[in-house]
């Protein structure tokens, strides 16, 4: 998606060969006008899929999921990262290892909000190793829900998650795929669409 690539080139910060900061427009300050354009793109790309629920994981996926849900006209569910005292009843859980935060945590979704009738579009801000997506897919599997696809804002194409998930048959729709980043010059190379 040209608009997102241009925005990443302009406002993204290459911290090192691995870390790309997009906190001025995606995951700390949120440019929801951009999110709306992203949502329209996914809506077009998944026009053939009977999506009736958006699923993401807290925290930085939530804003994107809310705008995507508004575009699709369906509810969004965000998986929680740890058991809250307010989250009673039967839950679906999966373990996820975060490389960014260097810890393993439980991903939790109440069974009341995901079931066999659900056709799910999973969305998230980043895809690197794909562990968070694995967790969400596993939760959908436990719920008997159908995963229609995965919408990612920024995929790190030089990390293995995207290729692995596509290899497993998942429809992964990344709006910008970073192939390489140079922290010395700040240049970012995107995969051609």
Interface contacts to a second copy, rule CB under 8 A: 15, 19, 21, 23-25, 28-33, 35-36, 58-59, 62-67, 69-70, 73, 75-78, 80, 84-88, 100-102, 109-110, 112-113
Smallest gap from Cβ 193 to a second copy, in A, equals 26
Which tokens is 51 given? 């999506």
140 is in an annotated binding site: no
Provide the sign of the torsion angle of the four alpha carbons 42, 49, 60, 73, taken in this order: positive
- Bridge-based pairing of strands 187-190 and 172-182 is antiparallel
Distance of alpha carbon 107 from alpha carbon 103, whole angstroms: 12
Q: Which residue has the tokens 């109440």?
A: 110
Compare residues 28 and 141 and give the one whose CB is closer to a second copy.
28
Minimum distance of a second copy from residue 68's CB (angstroms): 9
Closest contact distance (angstroms) between CB of 1 and a second copy is: 18
Tell me whether residue 129 is annotated as binding. Answer: yes
Q: Which is nearer to a second copy, 31 or 138 (CB)?
A: 31
* 39 labelled ligand-binding: no
Alpha-carbon gap, residue 2 to 140, rounded angstroms: 31
What distance, in Å, lies between the first and last C-alpha atoms of the chain?
A: 8
SS3 166: helix
* Bond into 116 cis (ω within 30): no
Pick between residue 3 and residue 59 the one whose CB is nearest to a second copy.
59
Q: How far is the CB of 37 from a second copy (least distance, A)?
A: 12
- Residues with Cβ within 8 Å of residue 130, at least 6 apart in sequence: 160, 161, 162, 164, 165
130 known ligand binder: yes
Taking the complex as a whole, the smallest distance from the CB of residue 116 to a second copy amounts, in Å, to: 16
* CA 129 – CA 53 distance, rounded (Å): 24
- Ligand-binding site membership of 145 (annotated): no
Mark the binding-site residues for 5-phospho-alpha-D-ribose 1-diphosphate, compressed into ranges.
Answer: 128-132
Mark the binding-site residues, compressed into ranges.
Answer: 20, 27, 128-132, 156
Mark the binding-site residues for xanthine, compressed into ranges.
Answer: 20, 27, 156
């Amino acid at each position: 998606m040209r608009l997102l690539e241009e925005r990443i080139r302009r406002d993204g910060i290459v911290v090192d060969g691995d870390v790309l900061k997009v906190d001025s427009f995606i995951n700390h300050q949120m440019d929801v006008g951009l999110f709306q354009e992203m949502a329209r793109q996914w809506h077009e790309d998944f026009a053939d899929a009977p999506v009736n629920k958006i699923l993401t994981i807290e925290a930085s996926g939530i804003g994107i999921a809310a705008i995507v849900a508004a575009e699709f006209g369906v509810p969004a569910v965000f998986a929680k990262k740890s058991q809250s005292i307010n989250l009673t009843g039967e839950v679906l859980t999966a373990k996820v290892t975060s490389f960014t935060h260097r810890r393993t945590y439980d991903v939790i979704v109440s069974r009341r909000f995901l079931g066999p009738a659900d056709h799910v579009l999973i969305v998230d801000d980043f895809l690197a190793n794909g562990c968070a997506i694995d967790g969400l897919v596993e939760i959908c599997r436990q719920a008997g829900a159908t995963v229609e696809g995965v919408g990612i804002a920024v995929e790190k194409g030089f990390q293995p998650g995207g290729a692995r998930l596509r290899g497993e048959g998942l429809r992964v729709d990344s709006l910008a795929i970073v192939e390489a980043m140079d922290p010395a010059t700040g240049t970012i190379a995107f995969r051609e669409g």
